[in-house]
Structures are given as C-alpha cells and as structure tokens.
Chain A
Amino acid sequence: EAQLVESGGGLGQPGRSLRLSCAASGFTFEDYSMHWVRQAPGKGLEWVSGISWNSASIAYADSVKGRFTVSRDNAKNSLYLQMNSLSAEDTAFYYCVKGNLIQRSLDLWGLGTLVTVSS
C-alpha cells in the first residue's frame, strides 16, 4: 500500500530553523513529482513547494520563497523541507504529497506533521 509519513515537526523558535522529512513507500518514488502543502490553524490548504522527479524543476509559494528549500533523495525514498527564518505565520500542519503529472493532481497525501513557531 502506498504511504507517505512525515516527521520533523515540533516547536520552533521565531527566526530559527526546522527540517521536515517525508518517507515514501509502496510506489516507485523516483518516478513522481512531490509537494509540500500546509494548513494553518483555521485556514485552508496552501501549496508550499514542489519538486520534479529528478529535482530539475523546483517551485515555491511566494510566502516561503527564499526561506524554505525542498529537496529529495530518491535512493532513500525521501522528501525534505528545510525551513529557515521561521515566523509565527509558518505555524501549520505540513503535508507531504505525491504528484500525478498525467492527471495533474495530488493523488496521495500523508497525515501531516505539526510545526508550531513560538518563543
């Protein structure tokens, strides 16, 4: 069964950094684009970042550009999100999501990991 499991969330201080990880299983990870989507408390889903299968194409939402860096390790079936210069507005559940380029959809989501930014 295909599965995505996020980790690395927790309490982060304003201005500091956190690194999220996502472990993929049950599908050929290296064949698919991957994304991070977040949901702040009481808000809707917000796309954060996406990375192509070979890391050649990377994109970020304007709200995180210059502060967050997405990467992947196909040998380890893993996706990462390095989050720097954290602010309270980054407090959210962060979901790891598998992209489907043919359907242009997001066809598998993880349960998410909670990031809380507070001093």
Chain B
Amino acid sequence: QSALTQPASVSGSPGQSITISCTGSSDNIGYYNYVSWYQHHPGKAPKLIIFEVSNRPSGVSDRFSGSKSGNMASLTISGLQAEDEADYYCSSYTASTTHVLLGGGTKLTVL
C-alpha cells in the first residue's frame, strides 16, 4: 500500500478540465515542495510532466498544472484531448526514507 493515495480512475470529455488528487502526509507532501507528476502511456516510457509541485519541464504543454494544499497535491489538465488518456502518477520527496515515494496511479479516460 502506497504512502501516497490517488483515485484509481478519473474521466472527462474533450475540452473539459479534470483534477487528479494525491494525498500524502505531513512527512512528505505536507512538508516538502518536491511533488512530481508522471504521465505513462502503455508501451511507452513514463514522462515527467510536473516537478517541484507546479513547474513544467521544457516541452510539456501548459494545459498541465500542479498545485498543493496541506498534505494533498493536485494535477489539473485543462482542455482535455484524446492524447491525454494515460496513467498518471504522483511522487513526493521525504527525508524519512531513502526510498522514492510513488502514488498508486490514476487512469484518465477521455470520453
């Protein structure tokens, strides 16, 4: 069982916005501004889309945005497109372990 909890699935129609939550604790998300999000299309390499809570790597669409409040981080995808259908994972740094914390993943379906 992961230390970071995500909903198993979310869905939305093209053009809509969706938000994926990632709930941790005061030991990780609540204390550090080191939340990352990854997009994974089956059969492809996972891709970093958000780092340090809300920063986008070069080349990532500005339709992807991240935020944090307390022990919960969120990934928002606006203007949903068919190509956004994928699995999304959150991650957070914690000093209490050398392990990398990964959420259980959320499957996004574009209706």
Contact = CB atoms under 8 A, between A and B. Distances in A.
- The judgment on whether A and B are partners is yes
| Interface of A (DSSP majority class) | strand
Contacts of A35: 100
B50 to A, nearest CB: 9
Contacts of B40: 45
Interface of B: 2, 32, 34, 36, 38, 40, 44-48, 51-52, 55, 57, 87, 89, 91, 93, 97-105
Contacts of A107: 48, 51, 57
Contacts of B47: 109
A44 B51 contact: no
A35 B48 CA distance: 14
B98 A44 contact: no
Contact of A105 (B51, B97, B103, B104): B51
A12 interface: no
Contacts of B57: 107
A30 interface: no
Given A103-B52, A107-B51, A45 B105 contact: yes
Contacts of B55: 103
Contact of B34 (A37, A46, A103, A111): A103
Interface residues of A, number: 22
A59 B87 CA distance: 26
Name which of A35, A45, A103, A109 has the most chain B CB atoms within 10 A of its CB: A45
Contacts of B36: 103-106
Contacts of B97: 59
B91 to A, nearest CB: 7
A100 interface: yes
B68 to A, nearest CB: 14
A57 B97 CA distance: 12
A47 interface: yes
Contacts of A9: none
A59 B99 CA distance: 7
